Amino acid sequence: NTWVPNIEPGSDFSIYNLPFGIVSTKSDPAPHVAAAIGSHILDLKVFFTHPEGPYHRPFPSFHEFDGFEALLLDVFSQPTLNAFAALGRAVRSKVRNTLQQLLVAQTPYPSVLRDNMPLRAAALLEDSEVTAMHLPMTIGDYTDFYAGYYHAHAVGTLFRGPDAALQPNYLHMPIGYHGRSSSIVVSDTPIRRPVGQVAHVGEDGKQIVSTGPTRKLDIELELGCFIASENRMGDSVDVDSAAKYVFGYVLLNDWSARDVQAWEYVPLGPFNGKNFATTISPWVVLAEAMEPYRTVPGHELDRKSLQPYLCEANTENVLDINLRVYLQTTAGVTTPITRTNSRYLIWSFPQMIAHHTLGGCPLRTGDLLGSGTISGPDGSYESGSLLEVTENGKKPLKLVQTGTRTFLEDGDTVIIRGFAGADWSRVGFGPCRGKIIGPSLKK
């Protein structure tokens, strides 16, 4: 369904996807915008600035808006997607649709790209031409929610027993906290094992406090949602308008030091247990590409008990994205550890946005929302964290071939994958990957 060569079945980047990201290439190391298609990228900076490109030659579709290409020309030379996101959904959809029309096998505009060899050679690059992927957005604020019902339930059961598993507020609002934006990194950035302050109870029953590398380094499988549009401070966003604020999605690994978190989090929430690193996948899958994959939540809220500001008219309000987590050891052996789906989120991103802005908190272009850890009902293979599957380290997880894990060891690589749709029409993310390196031990 596209003339771009070498798309494999099961590629995350079918023509139905066309995610946007920030690349450096061999010919242009300055970070700029590209779209992914199969094993290629379409370098959008080159595409719009090339002398043989549509900006310099008549091309009806791009000439419908006054000043449209001039806008895009600048937007795609930027080192982040913020300017593109801020153009609004109508313009973004128009750009994506037009690019799809250029890339489809029977393109109505063959002369623009497919048969335009100088432009095609310059702008349609093998992914081996990409020398680096960068953080796709400048992230002002990062908020991490806790909307994974089975995760909240499993962790609550672990620490407080099955009768008090969910806190009294859990089913009334999307619980969330403010995260740290400065330590959000793109896939393949090495993750240093953090040093932290921890406490344990000694043999005499007394509390012993110490400082050292975390012994409970964990993952959190999450979906990330980038904000495109801004609300004015003091104004809330209506839940049924909130989808318009979404730019797109990424996979997110909210690395967590469980021993640090356990000691620090009362009463103000997680801090150093979380703020050392958060990894996201590099390609932003636009909201439009995920539209066909909306579904009802795997565990539905009782709508009658919801506050009106959280009652969404659309009941298919979460996404049907297959999620996988793999652990790869230094020996190169890979163990699948999680197989779940984002429909197990009990709160939708529109509900999170409506709640976040209820008191007038302003969202800005580039803000990132984490969904909270996503787990399915079967804790043995659907857990989005090692905390759950190993019951806080009590039940080691068997790896393929040899070895076990309670929490992560130095040298381990964690890979999250996610995709919706069938083999030839997948809408996926590419890997969200990070390798653990040893702690920094000073003096």
State the residues that interact with Mg ion by CB under 5 A. Answer: 254, 274, 278
- Contacts with a copy of itself by CB under 8 A: the residue count is 64
Nearest in space to 35 (alpha carbons), one of 322, 319, 282: 282
Exactly one of 40, 50, 151, 153 is catalytic; which is it? 151
3-state secondary structure of 343: helix
**Nearest to a copy of itself of 238, 391 (CB atom):** 238
- Please list the residues that pair with 369 across neighbouring strands: 143, 225
Answer yes or no whether residue 220 interacts with Ca ion by CB under 5 A.
yes
Among 39, 157, 275, 335, which residue sits at the site for a copy of itself (rule: CB under 8 A)?
275
Which of Mg ion, a copy of itself, Ca ion, none interacts with 361 (beta carbon under 5 to 8 A by kind)? a copy of itself
d(C-alpha 118, C-alpha 389), whole Å: 53
Answer yes or no whether residue 144 interacts with Ca ion by CB under 5 A.
yes
Q: Is 164 exposed, middle or buried (0-12, 13-18, 19+ CB in 10 A)?
A: exposed
Task: Report in angstroms how near the CB of residue 279 gets to a copy of itself at its nearest.
Answer: 12
Are 207 and 201 spatial neighbours (Cβ–Cβ below 8 Å)? yes
Specify whether 151 is catalytic: yes
Task: Report in angstroms how near the CB of residue 106 gets to a copy of itself at its nearest.
Answer: 46
Answer yes or no whether residue 267 interacts with a copy of itself by CB under 8 A.
yes
Residue at 249: amino acid letter: Y
Nearest in space to 239 (alpha carbons), one of 403, 351, 109: 351
Please count the other Cβ atoms lying within 10 Å of the Cβ belonging to residue 90.
Answer: 9
**Nearest to Ca ion of 176, 421 (CB atom):** 176
Task: Report in angstroms how near the CB of residue 86 gets to a copy of itself at its nearest.
Answer: 15
Answer yes or no whether residue 326 interacts with a copy of itself by CB under 8 A.
no
d(C-alpha 215, C-alpha 29), whole Å: 39
Distances (CA, A) of 161 to 21, 150, 395: 43, 14, 17
DSSP 237-268: --TTTGGGGEEEEEEEE--EEHHHHHHH-TTT
Question: Interface with Ca ion by CB under 5 A: which range of 14-22, 41-49, 141-149, 156-164?
Answer: 141-149
Among 39, 98, 140, 391, which residue sits at the site for a copy of itself (rule: CB under 8 A)?
140
Task: Report in angstroms how near the CB of residue 152 gets to Mg ion at its nearest.
Answer: 17
Q: Which residues in this chain contact a copy of itself in the complex, by CB under 8 A?
A: 140-141, 146, 167-169, 172-173, 175-183, 185, 192, 194-197, 199, 207, 209-211, 214, 233-236, 238, 257, 260, 263-272, 275-277, 307-309, 355-356, 358-364, 367, 440, 442
